[in-house]
């Protein structure tokens, strides 16, 4: 009789602890239970029975449990559906200070033939992917893209697909009629702070200031029944202004999830205002705690947060994850306007990381298999780590940037996972009190 190798015990306060194990229900227990499970030989029978039933106690040795757990996950993974996304164009009407696509030749917009090929592939793979298609860029919602975008949406709607759109939001209002009638369910818009900060960072190439127009578009989208998610790209310039942005959104009666995303140096693009993971998480946690920002989420923990929220709210197991993100999943692909395919938006447009082509012919290359075979079980350092099925080896691209290979772990974010859990649970309780 052993405590499961994968059990993580997190102290929440002086009286409570969180027991967390992949594929088991998370339990909040008192310190007496923790004392008991740390000394199982003297544990009351009824406690052992409950914890065994929940998967926290096992008769397996650690090496047996690890091998069995990974084997089960790998055999059951094909049931997970992927997602296809498309970059309509690399052109953009913004000149953002931190844009990682600056080095990409922008003179690329998708053609009808490419769209037809995309839908041929998507229809053939219908049983492998979700019914929702992502649309990104560049900037997809520009007047010059209107005709080709409408063709793409119309053809997708005809086949029964729905859509979400990543946009800078500047021309959102002008596209709402098109989006609403063509199954667009969510728009994802970036606001980088209150007006005086946002307008210094997310600059229109001609009109310069963008905040007010974007805000109007968000409000109108919500009024017309299109859901909005707000992203904030965070660095040393705007991190202290997050509370002010949250207040401005409330004052404008905008009710939307807010995801904070650390600006990092993608594909070798240097950015002097970028915060290290340590600086970012420590400062962000402090700001969230001081201002009780229960309405913001940290993007790096978004999947874990959603899983934990569902598990705690519904009393269901928290899923074990072999793969960190969609980029490392077999059926998650991004199709670009040049006919290339990518696994990750961090490297979109950088041909070194292309995983294949779809136009004029569909063909995957060796990069595809390098990305898609990356699981926690394939990373030596992860195999005997009890966090591996929660963090799944960390971001593949950050691992590549740090170590020169996808097959190393990137643990900088995971170090802060349990601190985030404690903070999140504290805010959640405040909300329920």
Q: Are residues 104 and 214 in the same domain?
A: yes
**338 part of a folded domain:** yes
Question: For residue 309, what is the domain's CATH number?
Answer: 3.20.20.70
- Per-residue pLDDT for 429 more than 90? no
CB atoms within 10 A of CB 366: 9
Identify the domain boundary among 339, 369, 399. Answer: 369
**420 part of a folded domain:** no
What is residue 295's predicted lDDT score, i.e. its pLDDT? Answer: 84
DSSP three-state, residue 187? strand
What is residue 372's predicted lDDT score, i.e. its pLDDT? Answer: 93
What is residue 17's predicted lDDT score, i.e. its pLDDT? Answer: 94
List, for residues 145-180, the tens digit of each pLDDT value: 999 999 999 999 999 999 999 999 999 999 999 999
- Per-residue pLDDT for 102 more than 80? no
Here the tokens at position 265 are 């140096």
Q: Are residues 26 and 143 in the same domain?
A: no
List, for residues 319-345, the tens digit of each pLDDT value: 898 999 888 888 999 999 999 999 999
- pLDDT higher at 102 or 2: 2
Q: Are residues 1 and 112 in the same domain?
A: no
Sign of CA dihedral 108, 112, 113, 116: positive
Q: Are residues 167 and 32 in the same domain?
A: no
Q: What is the pTM of this model?
A: 0.93
- Per-residue pLDDT for 10 more than 60? yes
Q: What is d(CA 117, CA 152) in angstroms, rounded to the nearest whole number? A: 11
Backbone angles phi, psi at 382, to 5 degrees: -85, -25
What is residue 366's predicted lDDT score, i.e. its pLDDT? Answer: 98
What is residue 78's predicted lDDT score, i.e. its pLDDT? Answer: 62
Sign of CA dihedral 265, 268, 269, 270: positive
Q: What is d(CA 415, CA 413) in angstroms, rounded to the nearest whole number? A: 5
Lowest mean pLDDT among 91-95, 248-252, 354-358: 91-95
Residue 208 pLDDT class (50, 70, 90 cuts): confident
The domain of 135 spans: 81-369
Count: domains in the chain? 2
Q: In which residue are the tokens 């969510």 written?
A: 186
Q: Are residues 23 and 160 in the same domain?
A: no
What is residue 152's predicted lDDT score, i.e. its pLDDT? Answer: 99
What is residue 275's predicted lDDT score, i.e. its pLDDT? Answer: 94
Q: Are residues 110 and 224 in the same domain?
A: yes
Q: In which residue are the tokens 């029964």 written?
A: 160
List, for residues 363-404, the tens digit of each pLDDT value: 999 999 999 999 999 999 998 899 999 899 999 999 999 999
Who contacts 15 (Cβ-Cβ below 8 Å, separation ≥6)?
A: 30, 31
In the chain, the percentage of residues whose pLDDT exceeds 70 is 96
- Per-residue pLDDT for 126 more than 80? yes
Q: How many helices (DSSP H) and strands (DSSP E) are in the chain?
A: 16, 16
- Per-residue pLDDT for 267 more than 60? no
Mean pLDDT, residues 22-26 taken together: 93
Identify the domain boundary among 347, 369, 391. Answer: 369
**54 part of a folded domain:** yes
Q: Residues 56, 23: contact at Cβ < 8 Å? A: no
DSSP three-state, residue 288? helix
DSSP 112-177: HHHHHHHHHHHHHTTTTB-SEEEEESS-S-SGGGHHHHHHHHHHHHHTT-EEEEEE--TTHHHHHH
Identify the domain boundary among 329, 353, 369. Answer: 369
What is residue 289's predicted lDDT score, i.e. its pLDDT? Answer: 94
Mean pLDDT, residues 252-271 taken together: 84
Who contacts 57 (Cβ-Cβ below 8 Å, separation ≥6)?
A: 1, 2, 3, 4, 37, 40, 48, 51
Residue 281 pLDDT class (50, 70, 90 cuts): very high
Q: Residues 347, 338: contact at Cβ < 8 Å? A: no
Who contacts 350 (Cβ-Cβ below 8 Å, separation ≥6)?
A: 104, 267
Q: Which candidate, 302, 311, 304, 307, places its Cα nearest to that of 27?
A: 311
Q: What is d(CA 342, CA 349) in angstroms, rounded to the nearest whole number? A: 8
Mean pLDDT, residues 67-78 taken together: 84
Residue 203 pLDDT class (50, 70, 90 cuts): very high
């Amino acid at each position: 009789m052993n405590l499961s190798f994968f059990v993580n015990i997190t102290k929440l306060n002086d009286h409570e602890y969180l027991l967390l194990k992949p594929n088991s229900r998370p339990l909040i227990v008192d310190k007496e239970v923790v004392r008991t499970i740390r000394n199982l030989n003297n544990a009351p029978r009824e406690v052992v029975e409950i914890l065994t039933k929940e998967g926290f106690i096992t008769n397996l040795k650690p090496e047996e449990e690890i091998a069995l757990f990974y084997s089960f996950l790998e055999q059951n993974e094909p049931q997970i559906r992927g997602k296809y996304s498309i970059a309509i164009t690399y052109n953009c009407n913004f000149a953002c200070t931190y844009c990682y696509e600056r080095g990409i030749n922008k003179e690329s917009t998708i053609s009808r033939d490419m769209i037809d090929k995309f839908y041929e592939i998507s229809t053939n793979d219908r049983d492998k992917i979700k019914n929702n298609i992502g649309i990104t860029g560049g900037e997809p919602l520009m007047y010059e893209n209107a005709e080709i975008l409408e063709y793409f949406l119309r053809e997708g709607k005809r086949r029964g697909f729905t859509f979400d759109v990543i946009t800078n939001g500047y021309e959102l209002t002008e596209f709402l009629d098109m989006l609403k009638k063509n199954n667009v369910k969510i728009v994802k818009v970036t606001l980088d702070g209150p007006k005086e900060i946002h307008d210094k960072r997310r600059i229109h190439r001609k009109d310069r200031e963008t905040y007010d127009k974007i805000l109007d578009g968000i409000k109108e989208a919500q009024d017309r029944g299109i859901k909005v998610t707000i992203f904030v790209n965070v660095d040393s310039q705007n991190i202290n202004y997050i509370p002010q942005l949250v207040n401005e959104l409330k004052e404008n009666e905008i009710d939307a999830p807010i995801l904070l995303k650390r600006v990092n140096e993608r594909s070798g693009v240097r950015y002097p205002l970028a915060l290290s993971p340590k600086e970012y998480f420590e400062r962000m946690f402090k700001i969230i705690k001081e201002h009780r920002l229960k309405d913001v989420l940290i993007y790096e923990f978004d999947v874990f947060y959603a899983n934990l929220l569902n598990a705690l709210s519904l009393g269901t197991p928290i899923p074990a994850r072999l793969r960190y993100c969609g980029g490392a999943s077999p059926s998650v692909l991004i199709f670009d306007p040049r006919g290339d395919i990518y696994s990750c938006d961090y490297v979109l447009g950088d041909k070194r990381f292309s995983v294949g082509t779809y136009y004029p012919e569909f063909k995957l290359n060796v990069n595809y298999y390098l990305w898609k075979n990356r699981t926690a079980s394939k990373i030596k350092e992860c195999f005997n780590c009890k966090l591996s099925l929660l963090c799944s080896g960390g971001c593949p691209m950050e691992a590549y940037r740090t170590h020169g290979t996808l097959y190393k772990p990137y643990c900088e974010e995971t170090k802060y996972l349990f601190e985030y859990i404690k903070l999140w649970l504290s805010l959640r309780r405040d909300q329920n009190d």
